[in-house]
A and B are shown apart, each in its own frame.
Chain A
Amino acid sequence: MTRTEEIRQRLEEAFSPRELEVIDDSEKHRGHAGYQEGGESHFSVKLRTETFDGMSRIARHRAVHDALGKDLISKIHALSLDLQS
Chain B
Amino acid sequence: MTDAKTQIAETVKSNDVVLYMKGTKSMPQCGFSSRVAGVLNYMGVDFTDVNVLADDEIRQGIKDYSEWPTIPQLYVKGEFVGGCDIITEMTLSGELDQLFESNGVNYDKDAADKIREANG
Give complex CA distance A82, B88 in Å.
11
How many residues in A have their beta carbons less than 8 Å from beta carbons of B? 16
Asked if B31 and A57 make an inter-chain contact with CB atoms under 8 angstroms apart, the answer reads no
CB distance from B120 to the nearest CB of A (A): 17
Q: Provide the residues of chain A in CB contact with B84, threshold 8 Å.
A: 80
Give complex CA distance A65, B70 in Å.
10
Give complex CA distance A11, B84 in Å.
21
CB distance from A34 to the nearest CB of B (A): 8
Q: Provide the residues of chain A in CB contact with B89, threshold 8 Å.
A: 57
Asked if B86 and A61 make an inter-chain contact with CB atoms under 8 angstroms apart, the answer reads yes
A-B contact count (CB 8 A): 33
* B85 at interface by CB-CB < 8 Å: yes
CB distance from B74 to the nearest CB of A (A): 11
Interface residues on B, range: 10 to 19
Q: Provide the residues of chain B in CB contact with A58, threshold 8 Å.
A: 80, 82, 86
* B61 at interface by CB-CB < 8 Å: no
* A78 at interface by CB-CB < 8 Å: yes
Closest 7 CB pairs between A and B?
Answer: A57-B86, A73-B69, A81-B85, A65-B69, A80-B85, A58-B82, A57-B82
A to B CB contacts below 8 Å, 25 in the list: A32-B30, A33-B22, A33-B29, A33-B30, A57-B82, A57-B89, A57-B90, A58-B80, A58-B86, A61-B68, A61-B85, A61-B86, A62-B67, A62-B68, A65-B68, A65-B69, A70-B69, A74-B69, A78-B32, A79-B70, A80-B32, A80-B84, A80-B85, A81-B85, A82-B85
Q: Residues of B with Cβ closer than 8 Å to A?
A: 22, 29-32, 67-70, 80, 82-86, 89-90
